[in-house]
Amino acid sequence: MNIPEGLRYTRQHEWVLIDGESARIGITDLAQDALGNIVHVQLPTVGQSVSSGASVVEVESSKSVSDIYSPVSGSVVLVNESLATQPGLVNSDPYGSGWLYEVQMSYDETLEGLLTASEYRAIVS
């Protein structure tokens, strides 16, 4: 199971790459493996406000339809448009080309609830 250092994680198996006030978000290797072959991804729209803990993305796989929850609050500034025609990128490269969306975080956003790679590894091992 791949759990890269330098990212933050949630207990719901999302990852977050923090870059200043921007956060790129995706699902972990463990999550994509549990979902199975992903056949469709419903992304938020650019400009949409998202709240930490709220459902933002819907992922349809060969096994089920699952909600993906936002680990941070803010405004969506970018979505991975490649997923419209290549949803399997979430399976093949969950930490790279399979990312989901980017958020300009709220000024009052707290990142305290996010896990480090070692903390996430400890809860999923």
How far is it, in rounded angstroms, from Cα 41 to Cα 61? 9
Determine the pLDDT at residue 1: 78
Domain ranges of the chain: 8-110
Determine the pLDDT at residue 106: 84
Determine the pLDDT at residue 63: 83
Determine the pLDDT at residue 112: 80
Domain 8-110 in CATH 3.20.20.70? The answer is no
What is the model's pTM?
0.94
How far is it, in rounded angstroms, from Cα 43 to Cα 89? 14
How far is it, in rounded angstroms, from Cα 61 to Cα 2? 20
Token pair, residue 50, equals 């998202």
Q: Which residues of the chain, if any, have pLDDT below 50?
A: none
How far is it, in rounded angstroms, from Cα 30 to Cα 34? 6
